[in-house]
Amino acid sequence: MSTTDGSTTGSEVAAGTAAHIGTQADTRGETSPNPSPTPSPTPSHNAQRDALRATQASTHRIIVVGGGAGGLELVTRLGDKLGKRGQAQVVLVDRSPTHIWKPLLHEVAAGSMDPNTHQLEYVAQARWHHFEFQQGELTGVDRARKVIQVAACVDLDGTELLPARELPYDTLVLAIGCVTHFFNVPGAAEHAIALDTVEQAERFRRKLIAACVRAQNGRGRTGEDGRPRVDVAIIGAGATGVELSAELRNTAHVLNAYGLHQLDPRRDVRIHVIEAGPRILPALSERVSAETTKLLRKLDVDVLTAERVTQVTDDAVLTASDKRIDADLTVWAAGITAPGVLRTLGLPVSKQGQIVVGPTLQTEADPDIFAFGDCASCPWPEKQTAVPPRAQAAHQQATFLYDAIRARMDGKPLPKFGFKDFGSLVSLGHFSAVGSLMGGLIGGSMFIEGLMARFMYTSLYRMHVLALHGAIGMGLDTVTHWLRSKTSPRVKLH
C-alpha cells in the first residue's frame, strides 16, 4: 500500500480497503466471486442468520484507536486470544494504512533505512491476527451512546475514499501517541520539519539529498573558504535529535563514497544540534549526557546548549543570544504534546493535554475508556511523577491492558499497573550506542556504550517484531533484512 517514497496513493488505499472488506465478507460466506442465483431463504436459514446477528450484537466490542507500538501489540494479542475464539470483536482504528516503529524514523530521515522494508500493512496484520482495521482519524467520542466518530479518508487529490463513520464500542482504548510541539516559535511550523510520520522523514531525506547534490555541482551555498557547504540544524537534543545528528554524519560519508567527492563529509556537511537547556539528553543521567556530548563532538557535530530558539527562517535559525545558525534544512525535535482531539472528549487532561488515567489505566471520568502510551498521563508513585513517554512504557502498558481487559470482561477486579524502568539507550550510528541499564539484577544503574549497547538497542526493535509476529516471524524478518542489506545501497538515494 506504500509507494517507493513512503507515501500512499488513493488507489492503493482503496484497493487495500476493498481487499479487507472482501476478506471479511468471504469469511462470513456472504459474497462470491461468481455469484449465482440465490435460493429463497428457508426458515432454518433465517434462524441461522438471526442467531449469527444476535451473537455478533452480544459479543464484547473492543476498539483500540492508534496503531503505534503499544496499540498494535495490544490488538494483535487481543485478536489472537479473543478475536480468534469469537469472545470479542477487536477493532483497530488508525489514520495511516501502515505501521512503523517510531524510533526508526531518524534512520528513515537520514536515508540509512528504507521505510518500505520495515512498514507493516494494518489490513494484513488484521487478517493474520483476527481483528478488524478501520482507517481514519479520530474526531470525537459520544460517551452517552458509546460510539466514536472517525473522519473520512481522502486520496491525494481530495477524492473521498471512505466516508465519515461512527463505530460502537463496549471498551475503548486510546493510544494515539503524541505530536510535535512548536511552542509558537515564529517560523518553526513553516520552515522546520518534524519527524512524526514516515512522510515527514522521507521529505527531509529528499531535501537532504537535493541539498548535497546542489552543493556538489556548485549550485548551493559556499562558506568563507569558498568551499561548498550544507548546514543542517536540529532543534532539540533529546533522543531523536541526538540520534539523527549521529546518523547524518554517517550519511555524509556514504554520499561522498557514492560520488559526491566535492563534498567533504566532515568539513562541508555541518550538523548543528541546538538545545535550550544546559545539557543534551536532559531526561537521562548526567553521565550519559556528558559521554554522548563527547562522542558527538568526535563526529564533528556542533553541540550548542543553553541556546533558546526564537525564530526559524528558510535559511537560518536565530537564538535568544542573537546567534544566527545557517541552515539549508531544519528539523524540529524540541518537544511533544498530546493531539488536540483529546481536549474535546470531555475527559480530564493534564497540562500537556494527555488523558489522565488511574493505576488501572482507566480514565477518571469513564471506566469504559482506557488510555496509554504517550497520549496518557499515568501515575508513577515511586517517582511521584507521571510515567515517561517511552517505548518501553507503551510495551509494558500494552501487556498490562490485555490482562486488564480480560479481567474486565470476566467481571473480576482490575489489576494496577506498575512501571519498571529498565533504562534508556541512544543510538549513535550503526556501530555504537550509549545509555544506562537498570534493574534488580544490576542492583542500580549501569552505564553502557559501544557495540554491546548498539546490540541491545537493536534488540529493542526485535522485541517489538517478536510481539507482532512471534519467534519464527521475527527470525525470518531478521534474516530477510540482513540479506537485503547485502544487495541494497547503504543510503536510500531515490
- pLDDT tens-digit readout, 161-174: 999 999 999 999 99
364-375 pLDDT, tens digit per residue, is 999 999 999 999
Helices 286-298 and 239-257: angle between axes, nearest 10 degrees: 20
Residue 249 to residue 477: CA distance in whole angstroms: 27
Q: How does residue 25 score in pLDDT terms, banded at 50, 70 and 90?
A: very low
φ and ψ of 52, to 5 deg? -65, -45
Give the three cell numbers for residue 371: 488510555
Residue 51 lies in a domain: no
Using one digit for the tens of pLDDT, what is the confidence trace for 392-407?
A: 999 999 999 999 999 9
Averaged pLDDT, 475-480: 88
Instruction: Determine, yes or no, domain membership for 103.
Output: yes
* Of 306, 334, 362, the domain-final residue: 334
Q: What is the pLDDT of residue 46?
A: 57
Mean pLDDT of 239-260: 93
What is the rounded average pLDDT of the residues 14-34? Answer: 38
pLDDT at 41 over 80: no
Best CA proximity match to 234, nearest among 278, 193, 284, 283:
193
**Do 111 and 97 share a structural domain?**
yes
Hey, what long-range contacts does 287-292 have (CB within 8 A, 24 or more apart)?
287/436, 287/447, 288/424, 288/426, 288/434, 288/435, 288/436, 288/447, 291/434, 291/447, 291/449, 292/242, 292/426, 292/428, 292/434
316, 404: one domain: no
Q: Using CA atoms, how far apart are residues 267 and 254, in angstroms rounded to an integer?
A: 14
b/e 155-188 (16+ beta carbons within 10 angstroms → b): eeeeeebbeeeebebebbbbbbbbbbbbeebebb
Asked if pLDDT for residue 247 goes beyond 70, the answer is yes
- Rounded average pLDDT over 417-440: 86
| Same-domain pairing of 469 and 493 | yes
Last residue of a domain, one of 285, 301, 334: 334
Q: Is residue 441 part of a domain?
A: yes
Residue 445 has pLDDT above 90, yes or no: no
In a domain, 43, yes or no: no
pLDDT value, residue 75: 98
Residues 201 and 295 in one domain: yes
Q: Please name the amino acid found at residue 33.
A: P
Residue 437: its pLDDT value, please? 87
Q: Which pLDDT score, from 0 to 100, does residue 488 have?
A: 72
Query: Is residue 250 in a domain?
Result: yes
DSSP letter (8 states) at residue 81:
I
Number of Cβ atoms within 10 Å of the Cβ of 347: 19
pLDDT category of residue 208 using cuts at 50, 70 and 90: very high
Q: Are residues 79 and 158 in the same domain?
A: yes
Q: At what angle do helices 69-78 and 451-487 cross, to 10 degrees?
A: 80
CA–CA separation, 56 and 75 (whole Å)? 18
* Structural domains in the chain (count): 3
User: Do 169 and 261 fall into the same domain?
Assistant: no
Least confident of 132-136, 137-141, 263-267, 454-458: 454-458
% of the chain residues with pLDDT over 70: 87
Strands (E) in 236-352, as ranges, are 269-274, 301-304, 309-312, 316-319, 324-326, 329-332, 336-337
Lowest mean pLDDT among 13-17, 203-207, 219-223, 273-277: 13-17
In 421-468, beta strands by DSSP E: 423-427, 433-439, 444-449
- Residue 134: what pLDDT? 98
Same domain? 136 vs 260:
no
Model confidence at 30: pLDDT above 60: no
Lowest average pLDDT, out of 259-273, 337-351, 386-400, 423-437, goes to 423-437
Instruction: For residues 3-23, give the mean pLDDT.
Output: 39
pLDDT of residue 27: 36
> pLDDT confidence of 444, banded at 50, 70, 90?
low
pLDDT recorded at residue 447? 86
Neighbours of 432 (CB within 10 A): 18
Mean pLDDT for all residues in the chain:
87
pLDDT tens, position by position, 112-126:
999 988 999 999 999
Is the domain of 458 the same as that of 489? yes
Q: Which long-range contacts (CB under 8 A, 24 or more apart) does 339-342 make?
A: 339/176, 339/177, 339/178, 339/179, 339/375, 341/138, 341/139, 341/140, 341/176, 342/174, 342/176, 342/375
pLDDT tens figures, 280-307:
999 999 999 999 999 999 999 999 999 9
With helix as H, strand as E and coil as C, how does 155-193 read?
CCCCCEEECCEEEECCEEEECCCCEECCCCCCCHHHHCE
Q: Is the pLDDT of residue 53 over 80?
A: no
**Whole-number Å distance between alpha carbons of 176 and 371:** 9
Work out the average pLDDT over 434-462. 81
Note down the domain range covering 288: 188-334
Mean pLDDT across 179-206: 97
How far apart CA 375 and CA 381 sit, in angstroms, is 19
Residues 217 and 299 in one domain: yes
Task: Evaluate if residue 19 carries a pLDDT over 60.
Answer: no
**Smallest Cα–Cα separation from 272: which of 227, 312, 218, 226?**
312
**Cβ–Cβ under 8 Å, residues 115 and 100:** yes
pLDDT at 443: 56
Residue 45 in any domain: the answer is no
Query: Given this model, what pLDDT does residue 17 score?
Result: 44
Do 157 and 198 share a domain, yes or no? no
Distances (CA, A) of 469 to 250, 301, 450, 462: 31, 38, 29, 10
Query: pLDDT tier at 34 (50, 70, 90 boundaries)?
Result: very low
- End position of a domain, from candidates 389, 409, 429: 409
* Separation between Cα atoms, residue 407 and residue 318, nearest integer Å: 54
207-233 average pLDDT score? 90
Please report, in angstroms and rounded to a whole number, the separation of the first and last CA atoms in the chain: 18
The enclosing domain of 134 has a CATH number of: 3.50.50.60
- Cell numbers for 403, please give them: 490482562
For residue 57, the model assigns a pLDDT of 59
- Give the per-residue pLDDT at 156: 85
Rounded distance, CA 289 to CA 281, Å? 6
DSSP 219: -
Q: Which residue has the higher pLDDT, 130 or 41?
A: 130
**313-335 confidence digits (pLDDT tens):** 999 999 999 999 999 999 999 99
Q: Distance between CA atoms of 482 and 169, rounded to whole angstroms?
A: 42
More confident residue, 216 or 442: 216
Same domain, 286 and 157: no
What is residue 406's predicted lDDT score, i.e. its pLDDT? 97
Q: Are residues 434 and 361 in the same domain?
A: no
Within-domain flag for 151: yes
In a domain, 198, yes or no: yes
